[in-house]
Amino acid sequence: MSQHIAFLTPMAEPTREVVRSLLPDGFTIAFAQTNDETEHRKMVPEASVIMAVGTYVTAELIALAPKLKLIQKWGIGVDKIDLSAARSAGVTVAITAGATSIPVSEHALMLMLATSRRLPLAHRSLQEGKWIATELRTECSMLDGKTVGLYGFGNIARFVAKRLRGFEVKIIYHSRRRVDADIEAQFHAQYVDFDTLLVQSDLLSLHAPLTPETRQLFNAATFRKMKPGSILINTARGELVNEPDLVHALETGQLSGAGLDTFCGEPPSATNPLFHMDQVVATPHSAGGVYDNVPHIVGHMFRNIKQFHQSQPLDAADIVVASPA
């Protein structure tokens, strides 16, 4: 008997084609056309698996899916999944640990460069017939010789550190747990306490999950401790940052720039003042969204799904909520 998968996140047709081409034998799949939970409620009653990218998987949806055994997340962030409801229902929740580390780390590095060199302002000036090379000189900076701080030191942060090696920067990091010395040596990264991370970083890149402890951790008090003129990069979760406080820090010059891929409440309003500041580079939560990585991440998801239904253990790094034995 076929197992049914409900893919709750709308995807472009080329991506759906990749998913269909890799769909394992013995499974059927249906794709959501919208992010409307009304549609999702109709999709889940027959599903043994839910797949999702950035879609909310609520307690109500889980309750409407009596056959549900596995929620498979595209990526690693699970803040939009009701983990408590999944646990209570005996549903396993799995992620694709490491599957987006390369594109997200590349994107973080791109934001560092684009923000340091005021890329949107430079591009827009040419569109407007302005030649501002002289003015840009006083606004731009290079990475060479800078201290780059990493808040969090999981897979993505380590890939960022690896890619920064060629820029002759000093790398410091802070995370809940210090990693082993051999890992620090491998990535040429030095552990520091949180306040030291703030004080010393010329660029501070966020790579931590959203938890009650990290929610809006980067706020007015935090920004006041940061090195004057430093740059904030966020490819993690928008809710790590208090956006009004960030706007104020940019307006006062406490921070000289911000490169942001994630926001509080997505999609954000076009009136968000961050989108109208020359010192901000913003992208629509697209750091992990590269087409040439789709087969890799879809293959990872389907590997988990097959192993789960064959009662084979999943990689421990992929398990967020384990179903009862």
Whole-angstrom CA distances from 215 to 79, 176, 208, 242, 254 are: 11, 14, 10, 9, 21
Based on its alpha-carbon atoms, the radius of gyration of the chain, rounded to whole angstroms, reads: 21
Which one of the listed residues 237, 239, 243, 300 is annotated catalytic? 237
Is 168 known to be catalytic? no
Amino acid at 28: T
Amino acid at 223: F
Task: Let me know: does 48 contact 26? Beta carbons within 8 Å.
Answer: no
Greatest C-alpha distance within the chain:
69
Is 163 known to be catalytic? no
Q: How far apart are CA 302 and CA 89, in angstroms?
A: 22
Cβ contacts of residue 1 below 8 Å, gap of 6+?
A: none
Whole-angstrom CA distances from 49 to 106, 185, 188, 220, 301 are: 31, 41, 41, 42, 11
Q: How far apart are CA 246 and CA 99, in angstroms?
A: 30
Which one of the listed residues 107, 117, 285, 300 is annotated catalytic? 285
Whole-angstrom CA distances from 211 to 47, 196, 241 are: 29, 22, 12
Amino acid at 163: R
Is 285 known to be catalytic? yes
- Other Cβ atoms less than 10 A from the Cβ of 236: the count is 27
Which one of the listed residues 176, 178, 266, 276 is annotated catalytic? 266
Residues designated catalytic: 237, 266, 285
